[in-house]
Amino acid sequence: MNPKSESLINQIFFEKYKIIKKIGQGSFGRIYSCQNITNNELFAMKVEQNSIHNNILETESKYLLYLKGFEIPEIQFFGHTERYHILIETLLDKSLENLYSESHGNFNLKDICMIGIQVLYRLEFIHNKYIIHRDIKPDNFVIGKNNNRKIIYMIDFGLAKKYRNPKTLVHIPFKITKRLTGTARYAFVNALKGGEQSRKDDFESLSYMLLYFLRGGFPWQGIPGMTKGEKYKKMYYMKKNIGAEKLYENLPQDIYI
């Protein structure tokens, strides 16, 4: 069975980690809170169907180990069962998307600026490690728990990639892959047309994320299409041709990016 349909509540994995409740869901599978039954510590557990076609959690586990530090979730364990890939990491709180929804789309300008500053620091950290995230969106930034509630953590590195060889410092070549990596709503035109991404794409997606908080939405949200490819094509041309005046209409001039 797929973890999206099977109840794993109260099951114990690796003779140590007991699942408590579901706290989220992604394209790879589900996210649970779990407890280390040897010391009662709480963690987040991501569960992905074990398949040669699914390796998002394995990719993420490698990047979490490599990026250890500076408000990145700390990996506790990564392993396999007969049916699942399982990643156990720091348990965090609500995402920026959750908080924005709870505020009824009413983040104030100061909050948005503070979010932008913290996210820029996170991008600086991973870019200095020669990594690009490739899926910048409100769901992938999460506040900490308890005393860390003012800290924004960057999560979900399953689509991350090295943009430069750490030894030779040679940048990856540009190519057209013809497949979008990331989330269409926040992807810039290069990513939407399947272009090889770089640091610039992370920053452009950040600008869209902040605009989303300011505007409450985009003209390309809900754009129709018979297929996903057709929808992405329409979105590409809309983003390519829309003017700054339209995007920044009725917004404070100081935030023009």
Active site residues: 135
Q: Show Cβ contacts of residue 3 under 8 Å, excluding neighbours closer than 6 positions.
A: 29, 30, 47, 48, 49, 84
Is residue 235 a contact partner of residue 220, using CB atoms and an 8 Å limit? yes
* C-beta separation of 85 from 158 below 8 A: no
3-state SS class at 36: strand
Sequence-ordered strand ranges (E) for the chain: 12-13, 17-25, 29-36, 42-49, 75-80, 84-89, 131-132, 141-143, 152-154, 161-162
* Partners of 181 in beta bridges: none
Contacts of 53 (CB under 8 A, 6+ apart): none
